Structure 1
């Protein structure tokens, strides 16, 4: 029978051995962190507002609008047709402006005061402006950066339209000026 190998002095469990082990593990972890690639920014898939708007216009039969020929730098970020405040179906298209602000288009048929209040985040009515050939009410939410333009339906064949977000009123008005009816044919 052969004699067992002598026991290593590193197996004695001293504080110095624990510190050396932790240092080795730390070097390995640091090396792994250094070589694993990290994402600097998250990009979302492109949002097809024109395609979605045609489908919603066909499905709803509403005269919905969408922005046409926005200047360079505007990026579509969201689009949906969902039930909103008071059970009202709402057409929504969201955009990031060239300055990094957010602007959304919200439209519904037979809008209630509660729906307008919810979309403007209970903002105070502050005046009126002209944009895109229409008169818009201006709304400012104090304490939170949210500006809104509200054009209330003028008849049974028109939708209430809200342009809202963190954009400046100049950006909101420029956006409102690009709104055009969606053609379904």
Structure 2
């Protein structure tokens, strides 16, 4: 009877299935199976490297590099900004070159275009000579290289007559007349020129010389009217205009 029980116990021991390995045993077995001659010692030992571990080994307290976006090398952020600025500069150069090419080759130009248009002052001159209480001055016989550029007559401003020209060298010469007080009027139209105390005779008339920082002037007074020839031209140029003047008043 006792033999039967012993035999049954032996049978039970051999028939029972082997117990399943625990999780720790499975992890250990997996580690042993994957570990080999070329395996990472950390992996072979059952631990995987982490970012924290790497940082710790690099040295605690060291400054974090400028890594820019994930995956960039240290300093990549600064280099990326430099590339962006350089790219913008190159783009502006390309745009500027394109604009220059379009302007040069595709937009029509007139190299002989005259920046200052010639004006026809005949109608204004006739009107002023009828309306003004003095003989209105205008040139006669000047070459066509003298170009009229502006003309006005303002009865309300001291019967002011203005006729502007460019001489053959491009200097400005203007004829100004008015019944306004002489000194203030000459100072105004000559841009603050001053009397020099010198006079010269031109075509039988006496003209005073005024000298200014911007304009010089020749001034002639007759009756209630003051005539001024002024501008950026030299006294020689001003005298040429004064010599060509004809003083005419037309009665209505």
Instruction: Give 2:165's aligned residue.
Output: 95
Asked if 1 retains the 8 angstrom alpha-carbon contact of 2:137 and 2:247, the reply is: yes
Asked if 1 retains the 8 angstrom alpha-carbon contact of 2:130 and 2:250, the reply is: yes
- Name the SS of the counterpart of 1:37 in structure 2: coil
Asked if 2 retains the 8 angstrom alpha-carbon contact of 1:54 and 1:182, the reply is: no
Task: State the structure with bigger RCO (CA 8 A, min sep 6), 1 or 2.
Answer: 1
Asked if 2 retains the 8 angstrom alpha-carbon contact of 1:50 and 1:66, the reply is: no
- The alpha carbon displacement at 1:122 in A equals 2.3
- The alpha carbon displacement at 1:61 in A equals 4.5
- Name the SS of the counterpart of 1:128 in structure 2: strand
The alignment yields a C-alpha RMSD, in angstroms, of 3.0
Larger radius of gyration: 2
| Structure 2 unmatched ranges of 5 or more | 1-82
1:116 to 178, 186, 193: 186
2:208 to 127, 131, 137: 137
1:113-162 deviation line (CA, Å, top 9, x unaligned): 21122122222212000012100000111xx2321000112x24xx2100
1:24-75 deviation line (CA, Å, top 9, x unaligned): 8667545423311245444444312233211112233432110111134211
Instruction: Give 1:149's aligned residue.
Output: 218
Q: How many residues are treated as equivalent by the alignment?
A: 163
Instruction: Give 1:63's aligned residue.
Output: 135
Residue 112 to residue 61, structure 1, CA distance change in 2 (3 Å): closer
Asked if 1 retains the 8 angstrom alpha-carbon contact of 2:132 and 2:155, the reply is: no
TM-score by length of 1: 0.73
Asked if 1 retains the 8 angstrom alpha-carbon contact of 2:134 and 2:249, the reply is: no
Query: C-alpha distance in 1, partners of 2:96/2:214?
Result: 45
- Name the SS of the counterpart of 1:114 in structure 2: helix
- Name the SS of the counterpart of 1:106 in structure 2: strand
- The alpha carbon displacement at 1:181 in A equals 2.3
Query: C-alpha distance in 1, partners of 2:118/2:103?
Result: 31
Residue 25 to residue 151, structure 1, CA distance change in 2 (3 Å): closer
Deviates more, 1:33-42 or 1:59-68: 33-42
Instruction: Give 1:171's aligned residue.
Output: 237
Query: C-alpha distance in 2, partners of 1:49/1:73?
Result: 16
- Name the SS of the counterpart of 1:152 in structure 2: strand
Query: C-alpha distance in 2, partners of 1:31/1:38?
Result: 13
Query: C-alpha distance in 1, partners of 2:99/2:122?
Result: 48
Whether 2:116 is the aligned partner of 1:47: answer no
